[in-house]
Amino acid sequence: MKVEQVDIAVVGAGPAGLKAARIAARAGARVALIDDNPRPGGQIWRQGPTLAPAAQLRQWLDETRSLENFVGMNGTKVAAAPGSKRLLLERDGAPLVLAYSKLILATGARERLLPFDGWTLPGVTGAGGLQALVKGGMPVRGERIVVAGSGPLLLAAADTARRHGAQVVAVVEQASPARVARFVASLALTPAKLAQAVGLGVACYRPGGVVVRAHGSARVDAVTIRVRGREETLVADRVACGYGLVPNVTLALALGCSTDERDGAIHVDDLQRTSLEDVFAAGECTGIGGMELASVEGALAAHAALGIAADARLVRERDRWRAFARRVAHAFELGADARAMQSPDTVLCRCEDVSIGEVAAHANWREAKLQTRCGMGPCQGRICGEAAAVYFGWPCTAARPPFAPVRIDTLIAARESAETPVS
């Protein structure tokens, strides 16, 4: 069984992880950067067949990839955290144990995907989901697309779809027009963000609305939306709906890091230290805040892991972006319409085809899982657990390993690795 030893393991190759890994590797530490996607960049700098790497990613690749003390592990899943300071990984179907002295969690965020009638039809994706798929080469030219849900990501997703030839029929935002207007006015305080928002502005932006149902038999052909009390059905080839982002904290919870009860984010102190010694966290797993915040947090986490003082400027920059993140969170807080429970026969758990009504009959998440199998499929409740948290207020619980479906060989290796010394 192969055991690899590094000084600093970084999990997640988005803006936070890339920044942390670069600083740590350039300081001379032996660094491993682990990510489950085939190529580095995370969601924001996702590379694809038609996309050259973003300038910041290209710079990172130039400066970091060739360092001898840097190991990039793409297409690599973290299966478990067995024993002290070890991660069980699966790469190309083969197990690998990584032993580390310090760990930086930069596991990012996923979309909050809330059920609606017809959301299991092919053609329904997340909003960020659509963007990721298009970046991966999915053609949308000539398609009519309704983007819905909440947050600035909707405009970014709509922009990506449009630039790839889709006709964006509507962008339906659950936040009220008043909240959106206040938020846009407040952007004057951060010009870069304002420019971004204006550049993405679309005439079909519909605040105060939600998706009610997607229509179709084998795929989506129309979608009914409700904007400020009025229902309307639009012809659509795709519906891309996501209600903001949720921190990815599966590994953090399994390690025992403390998290925030309210937003589920990993607790960190001013130096990006988690509640566990030698475990640091940066980026959206510590709270949703965008690429700039993630990047500066990654820098601070690297400094803390290396045991060197960070420039006070970095701290100020982080605090500035955090203030911006709070404004975004307030403006796009989920309202009653977005949180409203859907009809009992709407599928809640897509892995096991369990309806909202079946789950609602139980007192808590554990009971519902035991009786209905909801949350027990391949996604391990990452999708339906969030919906259950919104509808029933059930807290998300720590996942048991393996954190993702892995091969049985990998699990056998996990057991063996407990007895294997570091080579």
Partner 1 sequence: MDERVRVVIDGEPLTVPAFTTVAAAVAMRGVGGTRRSVTGEPRAALCGMGVCHECRVTVDGRAHVLGCQTLCRDGLSIETLR
Smallest gap from Cβ 101 to partner 1, in A, equals 28
Smallest gap from Cβ 138 to partner 1, in A, equals 4
Binding-site member from 117, 232, 337, 353 for partner 1 (CB under 8 A): 353
With a CB cutoff of 8 Å and minimum separation 6, the contacts of 68 are none
Smallest gap from Cβ 93 to partner 1, in A, equals 8
Binding-site member from 65, 219, 316, 339 for partner 1 (CB under 8 A): 219
Nearest-angstrom CA–CA distance, 415 and 413: 5
**C-beta closer to partner 1: residue 36 or 297:** 36
Kindly state whether residue 372 participates in binding partner 1, applying the rule CB under 8 A: no
**C-beta closer to partner 1: residue 103 or 236:** 236
| Pair type for strands 94-105 and 279-281 | parallel
CA 199 to chain centre: 24
Kindly state whether residue 38 participates in binding partner 1, applying the rule CB under 8 A: yes
Kindly state whether residue 238 participates in binding partner 1, applying the rule CB under 8 A: yes
Smallest gap from Cβ 384 to partner 1, in A, equals 10
Smallest gap from Cβ 248 to partner 1, in A, equals 8
Q: Are 352 and 372 in contact (CB under 8 A)?
A: yes
Kindly state whether residue 360 participates in binding partner 1, applying the rule CB under 8 A: no
With tokens 């060989």, the residue in question is: 409
With tokens 């932006």, the residue in question is: 205
Give me the count of residues in the chain. Answer: 423
Smallest gap from Cβ 42 to partner 1, in A, equals 9
Which residues are 94's β-sheet partners? 91
Kindly state whether residue 335 participates in binding partner 1, applying the rule CB under 8 A: no
Nearest-angstrom CA–CA distance, 99 and 422: 7
Q: Are 259 and 298 in contact (CB under 8 A)?
A: no
**C-beta closer to partner 1: residue 77 or 303:** 77
Residue 374 is encoded by which pair of tokens?
């909801």
Kindly state whether residue 326 participates in binding partner 1, applying the rule CB under 8 A: no
Smallest gap from Cβ 369 to partner 1, in A, equals 15
Kindly state whether residue 144 participates in binding partner 1, applying the rule CB under 8 A: no
Residue 109: closest CA among 254, 262, 266: 266
**Stretch near partner 1 under the rule CB under 8 A, chosen from 33-41, 181-189, 191-199, 288-296:** 33-41
Nearest-angstrom CA–CA distance, 170 and 132: 19
The amino acid at residue 246 is: V
Binders of partner 1 among residues 78 to 97 (CB under 8 A) are: 93
Kindly state whether residue 132 participates in binding partner 1, applying the rule CB under 8 A: yes
Kindly state whether residue 405 participates in binding partner 1, applying the rule CB under 8 A: yes
In sequence order, what DSSP letters do the residues of 1-69 get, joined into one string? Answer: --EEEEEEEEE--SHHHHHHHHHHHHTT--EEEE-SSSSSSTTTT--BTTBPPPHHHHHHHHHHTT-TT
Q: How many residues bind partner 1 (CB under 8 A)?
A: 46
Kindly state whether residue 128 participates in binding partner 1, applying the rule CB under 8 A: yes
Nearest-angstrom CA–CA distance, 44 and 135: 10
The amino acid at residue 21 is: A
Kindly state whether residue 174 participates in binding partner 1, applying the rule CB under 8 A: no
Kindly state whether residue 52 participates in binding partner 1, applying the rule CB under 8 A: yes
**C-beta closer to partner 1: residue 112 or 179:** 112
Binding-site member from 218, 309, 336, 363 for partner 1 (CB under 8 A): 218
Which residues are 210's β-sheet partners? 226
Task: Tell me which residues touch partner 1 (CB under 8 A).
Answer: 36-39, 43, 47-50, 52, 75, 93, 110-111, 113, 120, 122-126, 128-133, 136-139, 218-220, 237-238, 350-353, 377-379, 382-383, 405
